[in-house]
Amino acid sequence: MRYLFFFLILSLSPLINVYGQMDGKTIPKTLRELQQQFIELKFGMFIHFNMGTYMDNDWADPNAPLDLFNPSKLDCAQWARVAKSAKMRYGCLTTKHHNGFCLWNTKTTEYKSVNAPLGRDVVREYVDAFRKEGLKVLLYYSVLDMHHQLRPGLITKEDIEMVKTQLTELFTDYGEITAIIIDGWDAPWSRISYEDIPFNEIYSLIKRLQPNCLVMDLNAAKYPADMLFYTDIKSYEQNAGQHISKETNRLPALSCLPINASWFWKSTFPESPVKDCRYILDENVDPMNRIGCNFILNVAPNRDGLIDDNVMKILAEIGRIWNDIAVEVPMLNDYDKPIIYPNLAKHRPCFSSWSDDMWIMDFANDDDFQTAWCSNPSVEHPWYIVDFEKATSFNAIVISDLRHTFQDYALYYEKDGEWLPIPIIPNDKAIKVHRFERVYGNKVKIEINKGEVSPSIMEIGVYNEIDPLNLN
């Protein structure tokens, strides 16, 4: 039997390539496997390089002329060598930032690097260079696109198709992509919601094209740290005040920070101080790795398309002193799979038992985790109802009780005028996730037995989930 097993392995091995493919088809891994592999990468290079490089501003003019983008000495191989010198294990390039300029030969627009004086596909050169050094490849992509007017209130079906086409190009023409970092989506400053550009459609598209690609949205400013909302990896942007808890984190995570003062190259950078080697390692890489958080350090190439000498010096020093195997990355704890579908309860009519005016029921489904419905202390059996106003199918309810105010509760749905129980096991978590067999009803109700404090709900989410590839 032992010899038969080895024979089978040897027989199959020629069919399986380094990209995890058999007979040309990707072998899907579970989401948990992909998340574990990602945090084990530990440390990578973020590369902000786009029109902003030429403007001394992170927010580039969306109508900047094409001839501005002319990195005459562009050398992605240098970027990869510098990353390798720091013992980084991957890179991530800004394929398109908020100004809409594309670094690849997309068919969707003329506003791209191949039409600039450079005349080259930067994404192609980047992926080839990093893979040659044995490094993984990640991409960054902004859904906010000021050049093409993909902004709140103006997004059309054609705009959504452009996003899908651009992502299809990136996931079809450039080999295996380990993860994509998406920006400008459901952020207070972009105001593009997950309904404006449907998150579940984009997520499912990426997973169909590359099942083993992780999808990350930079949304930690809005969503609590206890749950993966609209992302496979909990992502923190330190420059925006988003800091992971080194004491309580239990989710697969990413934290990012620029080595300079900001993301895109500025004319002052060659002479300005950069972050200290010990700070990068002792305050970021090592402690974050210990809690299951990958750290990505932004390095901004200059207007020639090269990394500055002062940055190269620090990264080489990191590579010399960092013991990249000394810190053991933990096995991921138990946590719920991501929410990727629209919240059916968002902004729907809602009703509740008595609450004070400053804590009324509308605060529990206003898409804001900083507000809450709170029951009046005199109510012994508080209740809360969401009315869909029509028969609706759903199979998941998520209650955000960030103050840990209750644990004795029951869920119901209304069908044909009758309240029917939803079979769940109550829990005392801050984010109470309940998935169940799909039901069909007009309303959802939570009934709570009051404990020592008055119960409150920051947000209630109701979802009709369909796993795109059974990745969990």
pLDDT in single tens digits along all 472 residues of the chain: 433 333 333 333 333 333 445 445 678 999 999 999 999 999 999 999 999 999 999 999 999 999 999 999 999 999 999 999 999 999 999 999 999 999 999 999 999 999 999 999 999 999 999 999 999 999 999 999 999 999 999 999 999 999 999 999 999 999 999 999 999 999 888 999 999 999 999 999 999 999 999 999 999 999 999 999 999 999 999 999 999 999 999 999 999 999 999 999 999 999 999 999 999 999 999 999 999 999 999 999 999 999 999 999 999 999 999 999 999 999 998 899 999 999 999 999 999 999 988 999 999 999 999 999 999 999 999 999 999 999 999 999 999 999 999 999 999 999 999 999 999 999 999 999 999 999 999 999 999 999 899 999 999 999 999 976 554 4
- 445 near 420, Cβ under 8 Å? no
* CATH architecture group of domain 9-321: Alpha-Beta Barrel (3.20)
Cα 86 to Cα 143, 144, 264, 296, 376, distances in angstroms: 31, 32, 20, 12, 56
The Cα diameter of the chain in Å comes to 74
Chain length of the chain: 472
Q: Cα separation of 404 and 400, whole Å? A: 9
Cα gap 153→160, rounded to integer Å: 13
Phi-psi region of 42 (alpha: psi -120 to 50; beta: other; left: phi over 0): left
- Cα end-to-end span (Å), the chain: 32
**φ, ψ for residue 180, nearest 5 deg:** -125, 135
Coil/strand/helix, residue 206: helix
Predicted pLDDT of residue 27: 87
Its pTM stands at: 0.92
Sequence-ordered alpha helix ranges (H) in 234-375: 277-280, 286-290, 309-321
What's at 182, amino acid-wise? I
Q: Give residue 25's pLDDT.
A: 65
Q: Are 405 and 455 in contact (CB under 8 A)?
A: yes
Q: What is the pLDDT of residue 10?
A: 36
pLDDT recorded at residue 357: 87
Q: Where are the beta strands (DSSP E) in 263-382?
A: 293-298, 350-352, 373-374
Pick the CATH number of 350-463 from 1.25.50.10, 3.40.50.300, 3.40.50.720, 2.60.120.260: 2.60.120.260
User: Amino acid identity, residue 104?
Assistant: W
- Distance from the Cα of residue 108 to its chain's centroid: 24
Q: Which two tokens stand for residue 167?
A: 């992502």
For the chain, the domains span 9-321, 350-463
Residue 188: predicted pLDDT: 86
Residue 11: per-residue pLDDT: 38
Q: What is the pLDDT of residue 470?
A: 52
Beta bridge partners of 393: 440
